[in-house]
Structure 1
């Protein structure tokens, strides 16, 4: 797809969350774009982390560490965004999205894109968010799994049965037919087995080493609320759809509440995408590593277009 074609469409920008990381991410856009290179340099100066080495070379285990993965994905996503803006400036145009949204961690990126949160503050927030999530996970190890082809009621019953072994809940509504469960290791493993027995088409362990969007993360939510109270925020310049409610975030106080509580609450991604299409978005562009959200959009709303950075030639 040619970038200039986006100028004639009502575009919604989507920013991916944790699990989208992979060794080599961002390397191509770093080679192609001066604006993208500036984002990487700025992030490394702010955090004192060798983000380019981590993103481009790994090792995968170090990149997957939640305290590294979160700032790395945010940085790569914003590098892509700046590269898009740079290319459009060369065409004498500018990127004017109708709406933005981000999945989990991606919500922080979306708020930077909407000029509601500064890049440097977002980096520090997600670095600490990741560190706190890792801390909880070390105390109560867990993770997440996608369950495909099982009704929500049946999956909730599975989680209730598996909860004899620990906490496990239905965490995310990613698309029709795809739900995500999250919880402590033994309970999660039991729920995965039960889901398959009850008729799930597939059960896939996700590349996330923490039980995000579950009550296990309440302590993280409280700590984030305290941090967010001290960080300057602005009302978004672009409408942004919230993870927790699937509705527009309008005020600074709404943003503070959303960013704190979403780590322990389910992501209503199906509702979020439908809210964007109901408000006129016809084309979705996933701005970040991978194509997870592009695939989900096509399952949620078959009559819209959805593209990733690979489709624009910015990711190999």
Structure 2
């Protein structure tokens, strides 16, 4: 099997207690990375990752750096096991886009870690200030979902897969959208248990604060293509990187289009580095039969290495 792979990185919501613990025990380089993360952040992130409680790990300012560190730790262990691994491209869902940039060489581990911690903190503050909500809409046409969003004055947050779109906005607006979804031919609408209205205009204060941080953050063009959620295309310059990472905070995550772009380019082997297998599930809806291996711990790493023929 080809060892040329596309790396996919998980977004917020994939976190779970225990993430990375067995990898840290098995791979000294991973343990060193976790120790470095604690040092950079000035608090014991890995204790929360390994031991919880889940309420603390779910906090936006904790789960974003946790998923970032975990994704890159899995990549570190994978590279140790498969030195011949060739990366064709990187992509990540929402927060995962920052992990993808670090994996691609846009910025170093520490720079990215500081960015995601600040992003998570700004978004946590915005959630507390605005009190928003989100809803998943299953089995509806995109045009119908957009019409519903406009009528209820909420935003399209995620275009995850055909027939799976997430809306985001005020609590009242989301409740109204859920109630009216059937009228628009949408099969199912479920309000999500989230801290706030991610990828909506209610995150504008977080976007503005992140923009100021990005202005002074050193970035370079990645060594491999990195796909922007905001544009559903590979980034083309340092300015585009900063602009798309900023605009992604309130903009739609165009995941389905991003994956279709990678598939159109002939990529047929994807590795999801992060807990839960959410991205593998979405790929099954985007293009059935596409090979996605999810790696989150030593057992799934062993299985992936065997499958890669390494």
Query: How big is the shift at 1:28?
Result: 2.5
Q: Deviation per CA, 1:101-144, whole angstroms, max 9, x where unpaired?
A: 11110010000000111111111111111111111111111132
Query: How big is the shift at 1:199?
Result: 4.5
Distance 1:47 1:155, change over 3 A: same
Using structure 2 for the length normalisation, give the TM-score.
Answer: 0.91
In 2: Cα distance, 1:105 partner to 1:232 partner: 19
Could you tell me which residue of structure 2 aligns to residue 69 of structure 1? Answer: 63
In 1: Cα distance, 2:33 partner to 2:217 partner: 21
| Secondary structure of 2:230's aligned partner | coil
Residue 115 in structure 1 maps to residue 105 in structure 2: yes
Which 5+ residue runs of structure 1 have no aligned equivalent?
none
| Secondary structure of 1:234's aligned partner | coil
Could you tell me which residue of structure 1 aligns to residue 308 of structure 2? Answer: none
Query: How big is the shift at 1:254?
Result: 1.0
* Aligned positions of 1:1-316 closer than 5 A: 5=1, 8-88=2-82, 93-163=83-153, 168-196=154-182, 198-309=184-295, 313-314=299-300
Distance 1:225 1:311, change over 3 A: closer
Distance 1:196 1:312, change over 3 A: farther
In 2: Cα distance, 1:41 partner to 1:143 partner: 35
Q: Is the 8 A contact 2:87 2:224 kept in 1?
A: yes
| Secondary structure of 1:146's aligned partner | strand
Query: How big is the shift at 1:82?
Result: 0.6
In 1: Cα distance, 2:277 partner to 2:191 partner: 17
Q: Is the 8 A contact 2:274 2:296 kept in 1?
A: no
Indicate the larger mover: 212-221 or 251-260.
212-221
In 1: Cα distance, 2:135 partner to 2:117 partner: 23
Q: Deviation per CA, 1:47-100, whole angstroms, max 9, x where unpaired?
A: 022222211221111111101111111111111111101112xxxx33211111
Which 5+ residue runs of structure 2 have no aligned equivalent?
303-310
Q: Is the 8 A contact 2:19 2:297 kept in 1?
A: no
Query: How big is the shift at 1:197?
Result: 5.7
Could you tell me which residue of structure 1 aligns to residue 307 of structure 2? Answer: none
In 2: Cα distance, 1:292 partner to 1:204 partner: 17
Using structure 1 for the length normalisation, give the TM-score.
Answer: 0.90
Query: How big is the shift at 1:245?
Result: 1.1
In 2: Cα distance, 1:154 partner to 1:274 partner: 21
Q: How many residues align?
A: 302
